[in-house]
Each structure stands twice: as structure tokens, then as C-alpha cells.
Structure 1
Amino acid sequence: MRIISGKFRGLGLASVGKGDAAAHLRPTSDRVRESLFNLLAASHGDPAPGARVLDLFAGTGALGLEAMSRGAVHATFVDEGAKARALLRENIEKTRTQGITKLYRRDATRMGPNRGAPFDLVFLDPPYGKGLGERSIASCVEGDWLAPDALIIWEENTPQEVPTGFTLEDRRKYGDTHMTLMRRVG
């Protein structure tokens, strides 16, 4: 796993091998990340420059760190797993982004109130097929984590229904990975 583009281009990230099923780590492949960011740049304008990024079920943090490499000004990573947080700390250190990132040990389906500025770019990659994405989005809305026009990129193993208060921007399939891109209506 490596950063695809931007100021950290080519930087290798901490590896989990093929994933860690016990820790629910299933890193988004380099190829899928590259395709996703190419899609974002081509159809939505590159949302990373100047963005505040929220990476839910962050795992290794590859999605949020890719956005940081492409010009995001801040990233907050949320993951409950000890192994994921250890990998995230290692990757934050590798990218030297300690001063512009936060790492929370928190259940992404129970975010609580946001005490800072809202986020305009959100990566949501919950364990597949457990309904955690819907609950996470609802929790983020309730806690004021999302900017009025936040772009959410939701990764699952099936196409996801867009919740009330959001509009569908795009849907893509990469192998067995489905990406649902939606924007908050604010």
C-alpha cells in the first residue's frame, strides 16, 4: 500500500498484508483509491485541496492520508480497533502529519457532538453488510460533524441507498467494491 499522488506520492504505508479479518481491516487497494481520486478530480473537481477530512472506520488511514497528500488541510481519523489505531499512528508518523491530524478511538456510529469545525470530505468504509454506514451518517448529522455541502464517499460491498438529506452524486463498482458518492443538502 502506498500514497498514489500528491506530496507523499509513492510513500509506502504500514501494511496489514491481505487484511486482518479479526480486526475488520480491509484496506482499500491502491488501484481502487487511484480510480476513486481520478473520478473525484474529473467529475467533482478535486475536493481535497483545502478540505477538512473525516475518515470513519479509518483502518490504516489510507483514504484520509491520500487526501492529505493532495492538499487537505486537516484529517480526523476514527476507529475503535487497537490494531487499526497502531497502523494509523505509524502512517501519520510516516507522513509527518501529526500537527494536522487527529485520531479518535470511538465508535463511528456514536460520534457524539463535534466540538470543532465541520468536515467537508468524508470517507466511510464500515465493515461490509452490517448497516453501520447508515448509523454513522445519522450520528454525524446529529452531532454536527458534516458541513452543509459535505461530500461523502461510502464504500461497501453493495450499492447503498442515499439517506434523506443527501443527494446521489455517483455510484461506481470496482471489483466487489461499490462506491456511493453523495452530497449533503444544506
Structure 2
Amino acid sequence: MRRLASLFAAVLLLAGCGAGGPYRDTSVPISSAAAFDPERYTGLWYEIARFPVPFQSGCVVATARYGALSDGRLSVVNTCRDGSPDGAVRQIQGDARVTGPGRLSVGFTTVPLVRAPYWVLWVDEGYRTAVVGVPSGRAGWILNRSPHIPADRLRAALEVLEFNGYDVEKLIYSAQAPRARSAR
């Protein structure tokens, strides 16, 4: 039963790129970060804001940890604490393959044959803040290396989303980013 629940969660995770939104005007061209460096992207990222997607339903605090693998792929561990009284933790593991500048194809071990596009739309020069989206516009995230994001980088991240056709009014902010709401 636990394996079935894990498989269901992974399917929702990948299908979520097609089940929410869309949160962006797909007639607006979307572009990924041309100078993206996968090695600098490794490490822990805190979710600051996201567009609502089914696979993160109930998440109040989420992180993503990327690591370098010997074959050039990145390991991916997504963790979420839900809003239940006990703050249960959900986790899923997988990998990301670089498919172009700032473009990754992400898959998870519980659904090995399904991969989803994951585009890094912008990352600041210090690799402290990143904006991620998908061409369909059905998902998107603002990530930061710490749980609290400075207002200037949040404003920049929101501008990147808007430039790529996203409706930032539909973002939901993580419980770990209480200052984020006052950045605009």
C-alpha cells in the first residue's frame, strides 16, 4: 500500500506539470538561462513561492537538493513538510538531465519512464536565487538558498516570471518566506 501511495504521489508530481494552471500566457515566448551552470546549481534550495500544483497540495515548507552525479546528471531530492499538526515530511528522489542551456529533464525513481521539463528561467549571479518554470506554464517556482529572500531579489524573480508570461498574482508563498508578500 505504501509503494502504491508513493507511485501515486510521483505520478501526480510529474502529471502536475499538466494538471494545474496554466499560470502563464503560452503565447509569450519562454526562455531559459543561457549561462546556466549545473555545478553551481547543486546544493539546497528553499521554495519561496510556487504556483499551485496538485503534487504539492498541503505543503507549507519545501526544499530541493541537487547533487552532481558522475555521469553529468544531477541527483534530485524534493522534501515537503505538510501543514498537518504533526508536520509530516514527504520526500521523493530522482535525477535531472541537462537537455540545453538552463533546461533540465527531471524524473523520479518511482516513475522511471516519465520525465518532465524543468527550465531555469533565471538565476542571479551568485546562484542565491532562481526562477524555474515549465513551457506549458502549469508550474513554476521561486527558489532561494536560504528560507528568507531579500526584497530586491524577490522583485527580480517576480519580474522574470512576468517577462515569461506568468501571472504572479496566482503565486502562493511558502510558510518559510513570510517577508515575501511585502516585496511588491
Band of TM-score, shorter chain: 0.3 to 0.5
Higher relative contact order (CA 8 A, sep 6+): 2
Normalising by structure 1, what TM-score?
0.35
Q: Which has the higher helix share?
A: 1
Q: Which has the higher strand share?
A: 2
